[in-house]
Amino acid sequence: CPTAADLRPANGTRVCAQLYADNSPYYDQCCAGEVLVVPPGSDMPYMPRGWSAHASSLVVGTRCELTVWDRKAKKGKSRRFSA
């Protein structure tokens, strides 16, 4: 997986988090498959099509925090992730 400081695409735009579709019990094979990029200041009460209960790995950038909920529309239990 990339480090929190590595979350910068080629054009230099800041990225707060990346969620990955594929996971593995072997660390060097985690963070693979499709990638959902979360820019700074994003507010997504619903996951994009195909991502609901699909993300298996994530990396959160420095000076960012990602909050997720177990129900749609920001309902249910929440959990916060940071670098």
Quote the tokens at residue 17. Answer: 């988090």
Asked if residue 66 is part of any domain, the answer here is yes
Quote the tokens at residue 6. Answer: 């590595």
Residues 6+ apart with CB under 8 A from 70: 76, 77, 78
Write down the pLDDT at residue 9.
66
Give me the domain span that covers residue 33: 17-44+53-82
pLDDT in tens, 34-80: 999 999 889 988 888 888 778 888 999 988 999 999 888 889 999 99
Asked if residue 1 is part of any domain, the answer here is no
Write down the pLDDT at residue 10.
66
pLDDT in tens, 2-46: 888 888 766 777 889 999 988 777 777 788 889 999 998 899 888
Asked if residue 70 is part of any domain, the answer here is yes
Residues 6+ apart with CB under 8 A from 63: 83
Dist. CA 69–CA 53, nearest whole Å: 11
CA 43: distance to chain centroid? 13
pTM confidence score: 0.80
